Amino acid sequence: MYAAGRVLVVRRSPDEDFLPRIEELPSGGCEPGETIGQALTRELQEEIGWHGPVEIETGFATHFDYLTRSGVAARQYTFSVPLGEQVIRLSPEHSSWRWLGRDAVDASDMTEESKRTVAKWWARYPPTG
């Protein structure tokens, strides 16, 4: 999720069992029988109140592997999606959101995997200014 060279990060609620209070990219898993595209649309609807079709930016998709709270190996895919005119409406899973610029990523408490993902995305766009 991006706008004007910044990425959207959401902060997990303090009562979440897994990684409470950290910043993360909007994300989630696939339900049985669901395609990755369907999961992306559903997760954006659930987590940030997305409405309408989801348009994935061509040329950027990445993934990383991690262990879930229960120790199960999982893979997270990340796609670049322009925000457009969407209004952010958080689910109870998240307590806040913000736009993260290049200059703020080091101070974020995102996981190192998420920071690397954001760095890969920014590598496509030279810094301006």
3-class SS string, 18-83: CCCCCEECCCCCCCCCCCHHHHHHHHHHHHHCCCCCCCCCCCCEEEEEEECCCCCEEEEEEECCEC
Task: Give per-residue pLDDT as tens, 74-118.
Answer: 888 899 999 888 899 999 999 999 999 999 999 999 999 999 999
Which pLDDT belongs to residue 26?
Answer: 92
DSSP helix/strand/coil, 104: helix
Which pLDDT belongs to residue 1?
Answer: 64
The long-range contacts involving 91-95, CB below 8 angstroms and separated by at least 24 positions, are: 91/46, 91/47, 91/48, 91/49, 92/13, 93/12, 93/13, 93/16, 93/46, 93/47, 94/10, 94/11, 94/12, 94/13, 94/47, 95/11, 95/12, 95/13, 95/14, 95/21
Mean pLDDT of 21-28: 92
Domains of the chain (ranges; CATH) run 2-122 (3.90.79.10)
Q: Is the pLDDT of residue 9 over 70?
A: yes
